[in-house]
Structure 1
Amino acid sequence: MLITTDLTSADLTEIRQSALGAADPLGVAAALADAVETGRLADQEDAGLALALAAEIAESRSRLDAALRYADRAVEAYGARDDSQAGAARALRARILFRSGRADEAMAELEPLRPLLTRHSDAAAYIGAALTVGGRNRTAEEWLTEAVKAALAERGTAAEPSTADEAGLLFFLLQQRHRTRHALGLPHDSHDNLADKLETRLANASAAAAAEDLVFWPRAEFDRLIERWPALTEAYGATWDEHRARLERALTSGPTVTLRTGTVDGLASAAGADGDPADPKTRSAYARRQAAVAWPPERNEACWCGSGSKYKKCCLPRGRA
């Protein structure tokens, strides 16, 4: 892989999506490490991220010595940071240590990371993966149980979350714990029941969202829409950037849907004099009558949102944020 320009965070995200399918993934890993070494990152704060990605690529090809070297450098690059990315890098290093038969060192790396379970879902995912690779499912179940209890205690007297979005990190912890207990053959308890309930609600919400086509509001139309009907920020986003990011994520990760362009006048006409444009049925019926937007464009083509920028530099990274 030849890197001819400084790598941005968006470039690193794109490489993460495509590296394992590259003709020479280990070459990609080496190029990432070299970019860090030679200062070819747009933001030097991304050094740890680039090196951790190199470590994961090498690990996937069972080049554990190289993977550990990259992981060591990633942890060093993060220094004393204790955020999600730094925690994920340390948990990744522990996972590679487990694969290398160095279980005691792996556990010594993971133990200080336990507080991150209730703070960052990304770091929690890496911690859980490391424990699974190391055959420490019972330890994972114990840590996740404590994290779930802490998250529930933090909610205090608040009502039980009714949706996965409302539960946030708690939902992730419940899911991870539920799957770990299933692997251990443990019976359901109240936390498992809550995980099942939230997963069912999430599935129902996804099915409902898939039932109606996605509506894209060009910038000028979006501004008019929100000014006229402020309540529609819940359905379409509070800002145009949020609107575009929501659509890109839905298009790349959800069920197959069609993206259609909307206009304020068209929606007002569909609602009629007595109708409610915020009514999902009204919006769904309106969407199905609108022209479809060609998606996805080629990476180097103009973005579908009409910004004038290339897709790879505009909405493509929004969907991966």
Structure 2
Amino acid sequence: MSLKTDLTSADLSQLRQSALGAADPLGIAAELAEAVDSGGLADPDDAGYALTLAAEIAESRTKLDAALRYADRAVDAYQKRDDTQAASAHALRARILFRSGRADDAMAELEPLRPLLTRYPDAAAYVTAALAVGGRNRVAEQWLTEAVQATLAERDQPEPADAEDAGQLFFLLQQRHRLRHLIGLPHDTHDNLAERLETRLANSAAPAAGGSADDLLFWPQAEFDRLLAKWPALTESYDRNFDDHRARLERELVRLAGTGRVGLAVFPGSVDGLTGDATDAKVRADYARRLETGTTKISWPPERNAACWCGSGIKYKKCCLPRSRG
């Protein structure tokens, strides 16, 4: 296949889902690299994302030399950044090095990422996965333990009140707890804390599960405007404007992810599809349940550099991702 010109973040995210099933995935990888070289990306800042995807495709076909070349270029593209995306490129390069029999080089690639474990949740996942490929689960457990201890030392209280308050600590505790279980290590105080936080969050989430069923009902902007035009009273019982609407959904998705839920999505609604009075919470809940059993949904979360789930066309990291912190 031949890729379109001016590839957007959304195009790259779609390719991530479909490229491995294509007739010539290695050809797609080569075209992604060519798009970077020829200015075929709508946003040049997506170069690292495109090259990382090319490396993953080549790695999946055991073309490790090509995968490493793409990964080298992805790391170079991210060289001025120390965020999750940059960490993922370094971790991918380390993973390919492990698979190429270059364990020392792989560890040298991962070592500088250790400080990021206490700053970025996804970085811990990428680094742990790379170490697992290299048979270094014990090293991963040690690094996660150090990250947990450092995060605990920075807190004013020895134990968070709940998983939401724990934030990054909760993620690290979960990762560490599952890894220790995998390699057969006995429970320690950090494992006990992980289980207590998980139990608290599950209990606190129980009432919410019995609440309004339209928590993940999403009205795209045009439909949201039509909704309020038809039922102005919803500004009192629903959301005042589209920004409030998508911010509420983003916070709810983050909360659900913190409970360990996977496969999260929002379900886009339409005024024409809604029958009844939308000011009635039961009507909205019934409509949401119908949408949940259908096939139309928007998966969450997108990649940081992918187009935002809300339909704005802006990158997720610059659109709804920050809204969860509001």
For the superposition of Structure 1 and Structure 2, which TM-score range results when normalised by the shorter chain? 0.7 to 0.9
Name the CA distance, whole Å, in 1 between partners of 2:162 and 2:251: 22
Residue number among 226, 232, 236 corresponding to 1:228 in the alignment = 236
- CA displacement at 1:246 relative to structure 2: 7.2
Aligned twin of 1:32:
32
Distance 1:24-1:312 versus aligned 2 partners, 3 A rule? farther
Question: Which moved further from structure 2: 62-71 or 76-85?
Answer: 76-85
Question: Which moved further from structure 2: 17-26 or 142-151?
Answer: 17-26
Distance 1:237-1:119 versus aligned 2 partners, 3 A rule? farther
- CA displacement at 1:29 relative to structure 2: 1.3
Aligned twin of 1:166:
165
Distance 1:185-1:30 versus aligned 2 partners, 3 A rule? same
Name the CA distance, whole Å, in 2 between partners of 1:154 and 1:212: 37
Name the CA distance, whole Å, in 1 between partners of 2:66 and 2:73: 11
- CA displacement at 1:167 relative to structure 2: 2.6
Runs of 5+ consecutive residues of structure 1 not aligned to the other structure:
271-282, 300-310
* Alpha carbons 1:245, 1:315 under 8 Å: kept: no
Name the CA distance, whole Å, in 2 between partners of 1:53 and 1:7: 13
Q: Percent of aligned positions with the same letter in both sequences? A: 55
Could you tell me which amino acid in structure 2 is paired with residue 179 of structure 1? R
Name the CA distance, whole Å, in 2 between partners of 1:206 and 1:26: 47
Aligned length: 290
Name the CA distance, whole Å, in 2 between partners of 1:30 and 1:207: 51
Distance 1:312-1:108 versus aligned 2 partners, 3 A rule? closer
Pair 1:287-2:284 in alignment: yes
Could you tell me which amino acid in structure 1 is paired with residue 62 of structure 2? S
Aligned twin of 2:196:
197
Question: Which moved further from structure 2: 101-110 or 151-160?
Answer: 151-160
After superposition, what is the alpha-carbon deviation per residue over 1:245-285, rounded to whole angstroms, capped at 9, x for unaligned?
679999x924998968699x9465x4xxxxxxxxxxxx4x3
Partner of 1:191, secondary structure, is: helix
- CA displacement at 1:190 relative to structure 2: 2.0
Distance 1:2-1:48 versus aligned 2 partners, 3 A rule? same
* Alpha carbons 2:7, 2:41 under 8 Å: kept: yes
Aligned twin of 1:182:
181
Could you tell me which amino acid in structure 2 is paired with residue 314 of structure 1? G
After superposition, residues 121-270 of structure 1 pair within 5 angstroms as 121-157=121-157, 160-163=160-163, 165-202=164-201, 205=205, 208-209=208-209, 212-214=212-214, 215-217=217-219, 218-220=223-225, 221=227, 224=232, 227-229=235-237, 239-242=244-247, 253-254=263-264, 266=277, 270=280
Name the CA distance, whole Å, in 2 between partners of 1:53 and 1:33: 9
Name the CA distance, whole Å, in 2 between partners of 1:145 and 1:196: 16
- CA displacement at 1:101 relative to structure 2: 0.7
Pair 1:96-2:96 in alignment: yes
What is the TM-score when the length of structure 2 is the normalising length?
0.74
Aligned twin of 2:304:
none
What is the TM-score when the length of structure 1 is the normalising length?
0.75
- CA displacement at 1:312 relative to structure 2: 9.4
Question: Which moved further from structure 2: 286-295 or 129-138?
Answer: 286-295
Could you tell me which amino acid in structure 1 is paired with residue 67 of structure 2? A
Runs of 5+ consecutive residues of structure 2 not aligned to the other structure:
257-261, 299-307, 322-326
- CA displacement at 1:296 relative to structure 2: 4.6
Name the CA distance, whole Å, in 2 between partners of 1:207 and 1:26: 49
Aligned twin of 1:13:
13
Name the CA distance, whole Å, in 1 between partners of 2:200 and 2:75: 38
Name the CA distance, whole Å, in 1 between partners of 2:291 and 2:130: 42
* Alpha carbons 1:97, 1:106 under 8 Å: kept: yes
- CA displacement at 1:18 relative to structure 2: 2.1
* Alpha carbons 2:25, 2:57 under 8 Å: kept: yes
Partner of 1:117, secondary structure, is: helix
After superposition, residues 77-92 of structure 1 pair within 5 angstroms as 77-92=77-92
* Alpha carbons 2:246, 2:310 under 8 Å: kept: no
Higher relative contact order at CA 8 Å, sep ≥6: structure 1 or structure 2?
Answer: 2
- CA displacement at 1:59 relative to structure 2: 1.0
* Alpha carbons 1:152, 1:170 under 8 Å: kept: yes
Distance 1:161-1:65 versus aligned 2 partners, 3 A rule? farther
| Structure 1 vs Structure 2 CA RMSD | 4.0
Aligned twin of 1:305:
none
